[in-house]
Amino acid sequence: MIRRSIYGARKLTACDHKDVYTDETDFAVAGDRDRTEVAREVLGLEDDDVDEETDE
């Protein structure tokens, strides 16, 4: 079974405070997406910088 969510759990305490607070989060994931183009734009990379493999 493929998990279609991102799960996170955390515990939190504070200095001079004895209680421990816990929380759980489960974010639904819509599916696979190719974010390569967006990531390259954010990182300031140009398409010309990619070394493409060629079949000879």
Summarize pLDDT for 2-55 with one digit per residue, the tens: 668 889 999 999 998 889 999 999 998 877 788 899 999 999 997 655 555 555
pLDDT at 22: 96
**CA 15, 22, 6, 29 torsion-angle sign:** negative
The Cα–Cα gap between 19 and 12 comes to 9
pLDDT at 32: 76
pLDDT at 25: 95
